Amino acid sequence: MTLIIQHSRYIITMLILATFLTSCVEQTEEKKMVVANTSNTTAFLNVMQKHLDAVSNRDLETLKSTMAPNGKMQLILPQSEIFEGVDSFMDYHRAWFKDSLWTFETRILNTEVDQNLGMAITEVVYREPERNGEPYFNRMIVSYTLEKIDDHWYIIKDHASSVEKSTDK
């Protein structure tokens, strides 16, 4: 009888130890996933902020570095056809950046980031000191889609929607 009790205690101890070790491994895997997701989101946000800053600073070289190397890009602006491709996007910004009087204030409102695709919703306030004799502003909501290519995030879609303009009646 004593041998059976000792054997039962041994089996119960081994089961408890196995459960504990399995739990530790699962927690370690969960921590690895949290760290990986945090790192992925941080990298996403860094590229998003780099892009917004490049526009605000009229920095074409930095702006280009946030564009997909495969040329994938769509720029959608109010009352415009879609600008397709990185070259078209850069041509638009090259012409726009020649005017140095405007300002561009940005704020990231929210994001959704998966392993290889993410979206950011931003608020942008575009201002000109004078348009037709009056100060001008355009408050917009701009959505960006980013894709991870070769372990780096790139902007592949930019869709702006005007919310309020100084010229609204």
Q: For 2-22, what is each residue's pLDDT tens digit? A: 656 666 676 777 667 566 656
pTM for this predicted structure: 0.78
CATH class of domain segment(s) 2-165 = alpha beta
Q: What is the pLDDT of residues 83-119, one digit of tens each?
A: 999 999 999 999 999 988 999 999 999 999 999 999 9
Q: Do residues 106 and 122 lie in contact, with contact meaning Cβ atoms separated by under 8 Å?
A: yes
Q: Do residues 160 and 76 lie in contact, with contact meaning Cβ atoms separated by under 8 Å?
A: yes
Share of the chain above pLDDT 70, in %: 82
pLDDT value at 67 more than 60: yes
* Spatial CA neighbour of 166 closest among 138, 128, 130, 131: 138
Q: Do residues 158 and 74 lie in contact, with contact meaning Cβ atoms separated by under 8 Å?
A: yes
Mean pLDDT, rounded, of the chain = 88
Quick one: pLDDT at residue 33?
Answer: 45
